[in-house]
């Protein structure tokens, strides 16, 4: 299953928003998620909070990240999320295999 790094910038940092973020990401980290998140979404590592900006990062696996649109849009509208960046992760072995193929050309 594809693995992604998810970087989520939080909205305006109020005590209520921080409480919502701690609850939301804490629940995800133990496998409890809202009904509008896909069944195959699973957090593999994290969450971590950035020391430099209002950002939470975690690694998850999911077959199709486009199925998270409803859940993501809901958190954007609520103000919990300001924006996010998804990065597809590949194993280091994949990079080595690619480098070996390129070097054989």
pLDDT value of position 34? 87
Best CA proximity match to 5, nearest among 56, 69, 77, 78: 56
pLDDT value of position 68? 93
pLDDT beyond 90 at 105: no
Model confidence over 19-75: pLDDT tens digits? Answer: 999 999 999 999 898 888 999 999 999 999 999 999 999 999 999 999 999 999 999
pLDDT value of position 91? 86
User: What is the residue extent of each domain of the chain?
Assistant: 3-103
Topology of domain 3-103, CATH? Alpha-Beta Plaits (3.30.70)
Rounded distance between C-alpha atoms, residue 37 and residue 10, angstroms: 18
pLDDT value of position 95? 86
Distance (Å) of CA 26 to CA 16, 36, 63, 80, 91: 15, 17, 22, 14, 26
- The per-residue DSSP string of 40-68 comes to T-EEEEEEEE-SSSSEEEEEEE-S-GGGG
Averaged pLDDT, 69-88: 94
């Amino acid at each position: 299953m594809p693995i992604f790094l998810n970087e989520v910038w939080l909205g305006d940092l109020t005590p209520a928003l921080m409480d919502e973020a701690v609850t939301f990401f804490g629940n995800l980290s133990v496998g409890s998620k809202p009904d509008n998140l896909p069944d195959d979404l699973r957090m593999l590592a994290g969450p971590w909070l950035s020391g430099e900006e209002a950002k939470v990062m975690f690694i998850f696996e999911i077959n199709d990240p486009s199925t998270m649109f409803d859940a993501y849009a809901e958190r954007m509208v609520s103000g919990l999320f300001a924006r996010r960046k998804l990065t597809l992760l590949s194993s280091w072995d994949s990079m080595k295999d690619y480098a070996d193929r390129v070097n054989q050309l």
